[in-house]
Amino acid sequence: MAFAADDFDFWLGRWRVTDPATAAQGTNQISRILDGKVIEERFSFPAPDGAPYLGLSHTVLVPDRGWCQTWVDSSGLYLDFEGGVVDGVPTLRRDAVIDGTPVRQRMTFTDIAADSLVWQWWRAPAGTAEWTVQWRLNYSRLD
């Protein structure tokens, strides 16, 4: 897998994010910081209880390793990812244990256009290719 410094530039900007399953809407602000070396994400979305669900990620290209992202959010969650462009699809992935069961998780960015894209969160039992979409967000550019 080859990596380029602009692999995730399509994501830069201010976005409206919509969950097509619930019609809930939030925002996501993606910008480059620290002399353009780090991509920062500031995510805001309504939680089921109506309170804002807030998240922050930092994504950086690490030589000989690929794209690495850390995610933290208002629930106290911390996640770490690695990835890059796989078969033309920007993808970040991680291994996890959920309720005592090893799983694989990934996020993908597809249907990328100048003013829109689709982000999906997937999960598969470890050792299988049975990926299931857990959450889909449709992005539309605000600026």
**Domains, in order of start, for the chain:** 9-141 (2.40.128.20)
The number of beta carbons lying within 10 Å of the beta carbon of residue 26 is 19
Question: Which of 1-10, 47-56, 106-115, 125-134 reaches the highest mean pLDDT?
Answer: 106-115
pLDDT at 117 over 90: yes
pTM of the model: 0.93
Q: Is the pLDDT of residue 59 over 90?
A: yes
If phi over 0 gives left and psi between -120 and 50 gives alpha, with beta otherwise, what is residue 76?
Answer: left
Give the C-alpha separation, 17 to 2, whole Å.
29
DSSP string, 15-55: EEEE-TTT--EEEEEEEEETTTTEEEEEEEEE-TTSSEEEE
The DSSP bridge partners found for residue 96 are 103
The confidence band for 101, taking pLDDT boundaries of 50, 70 and 90, is: very high
